[in-house]
Amino acid sequence: MTGDTGSGPARPAVTYWCETLLIDGAPTPGVRLEAGADGRITRVTQRSAPLPGDVRLGTVLPGMANAHSHAFHRALRGRTHAGGGDFWQWREAMYQVAGLLDPELYFELARAVFAEMLASGYTAVGEFHYLHHRSDGTPYPHRHAMELALARAARAVGIRLVLLDTLYLSGGIRKPLAPEQRAFGDGSASAWLERWQTLRTRVADDPEVKIGLGAALHSVRAVPPEALREALAGLPPTVPVHIHLSEQPQENADCRAAYGTTPTGLLASLAGLSPRLSVVHATHLSDADVALLGASEVTVVMCPTTEADLGDGIGPALRLHRAGARIALGSDQNAVVDPFLEMRGLEAGERLASGKRGRFTPAELLAAATDNGYFCLGLGAHRLRPGELCDLVEVATDTVRTLGSAPAQLPLTATSADVRRVIVHGRVVADSGRLVAWDGTAGHRPEELLRSALAALEPAPAPAPAPAPAPAPGGRP
Ligand SMILES: [Zn+2]
């Protein structure tokens, strides 16, 4: 992990008084949280009264992490759900959108999607980014134009961004990139590492907005074993690494046919399993895979709303948790941007598969959305202790959805519509669905930003037909 998570221009310390604060999932009354000018918590005082000058909040949760996002997939929301098909057909539509994006459109779309995340209670996002180059695979004149577009988008709205720059080399195991995948590729692991290192110098000097650089290896489909090994060895050991894993049975079958083992087994053989690794989806696993991932203390990023939408299947989240893995959550394709629905989807999948209730406790669901997500993005612990980042979400408890809920059970009843003030780096950045703090977007709602971004992606209207020639005098023969 590199990049700024701390010092910015000097600004005053601020103290938040929370009527109720969920600490480790337990409602705690009357908590004063003091945030330093560096955006971190300096002191936590429980069971105290508010003091003059405190910013008074109601019921507050730790800020939530969206540990797996592809922001541009948002353009497909509401357009792919009627036609049937599966993941592979959905992917064709996704490639069409990817082909339309240049740095300016990518910025506009990502800014709108990050704004929606922020207003929904996500205070940090791990953007799994592979749209590196022009659609024919050639670099942009500024080689980091697409990456810096994401950084600008995050800066514009005030969300904490960990840019997971992605290695993507092949169109399937032992298959070259398809024409529509050329924008994703760097040609080799060494070329990607070189680009990653130079990008690191570009994003590490952002003083105010919290932008960090992590890494991603797309999948065993898109990165051959020797390149996986080279990339893992070439990255600094503290950098978080994410990878898509066993989302589809076809990936497992292809991997077994080529390498005689599962994707998890392949990563294990490359010494790739460790607490710095996050595997995304992990839907179709063998018992041995579950044991390996748990024993290695990886984080498993489940994306329940996406996995349900694409018909991927239900991953063995509880078994992974019991085996020793951390569970985090991501919105992935962004057809849904709502951390509460991801928490609910995680638990719902377990209940539907087992026929039993209460598989994860509400506190465990909240930890998946908060502490585990921050950890897997390289942002450290997020349990509201002194020294940790001051990222908070206020949730209304008097709405038609939440009225009567015990605060500890809000993960199972609230939605993003109940989010009020959102605090990142000790500063209020959104309030009741509106951005409040950042450059040029203050006062705007996410949908206002989204409208122009989506309009820019619409195909140009067909030219109007030429007017019919005027009938010859005298009419038809
Ligand atoms: Zn993904």
Mean pLDDT of the chain: 92
Q: Is 8 a residue whose pLDDT tops 50? A: no
Mean of pLDDT values over 352-371 = 97
Asked whether the predicted pLDDT for residue 433 surpasses 80, the reply is yes
pLDDT of residue 89: 80
Other beta carbons within 10 Å of 346? 29
pLDDT band at 86 (very low <50, low <70, confident <90, very high): confident
pLDDT above 70: residue 295: yes
Catalytic position from the list 254, 289, 332, 371? 332
Catalytic site includes residue 165:
no
Give me the mean pLDDT over the 329-340 stretch. Answer: 97
Ligand 1 centroid vs 415 CA: distance in angstroms? 23
- Give the residue, 413 or 88, on which the prediction is more confident: 413
pLDDT value of position 10: 52
Whose structure tokens read 């205070």?
Answer: 123
- pLDDT tens-digit readout, 151-181: 999 999 999 999 999 999 999 999 999 999 9
Closest CA to 4 of 160, 144, 137, 109: 160
Q: What does the block give as tokens for 189?
A: 């692991």
Q: How far, in Å, are 12, 83, 107, 178 from residue 168 at the CA level? A: 43, 29, 21, 12
Residue 125 or 81, more confident: 125
Measure 444 CA to ligand 1 centroid, in angstroms: 28
Q: What is the helix (H) or strand (E) element at residue 162, kind and residue range? A: strand 160-167
What is the pTM assigned to this prediction?
0.92
Give CA angle at 381 (208, 268), nearest 5°.
110
Distance, CA of 261 to CA of 439 (rounded, Å): 50
* pLDDT category of residue 1 using cuts at 50, 70 and 90: very low
CB 353 within 8 A of CB 429: no
pLDDT at residue 426 is higher than 80 = yes
Q: Is the pLDDT of residue 5 over 50?
A: no
For the chain, the structural domain boundaries read 63-378+442-454
Fold type of domain 63-378+442-454:
TIM Barrel (3.20.20)
How far away, in angstroms, is 333 Cα from ligand 1 center?
Answer: 7
Question: Would you call 281 a catalytic residue per the annotation?
Answer: yes
pLDDT category at 79 given cuts 50, 70, 90 is confident
Nearest to 135, CA basis, from 90, 192, 176, 180: 180
Are 217 and 243 in contact by the 8 Å Cβ rule? The answer is: yes
- For ligand 1, the distance from its centroid to the CA atom of residue 18, given in whole angstroms, is 35
Residue 204 has pLDDT above 50, yes or no: yes
| pLDDT class of 25 with cuts at 50, 70, 90 | very high
Q: What share of the chain is helix, strand, coil (3-state, %, to 5)?
A: 35, 20, 40
> How many Å lie between the centroid of ligand 1 and the Cα of residue 105?
20
pLDDT band with cut points at 50, 70 and 90 for residue 473 = very low
The predicted model gives 277-293 an average pLDDT of 98
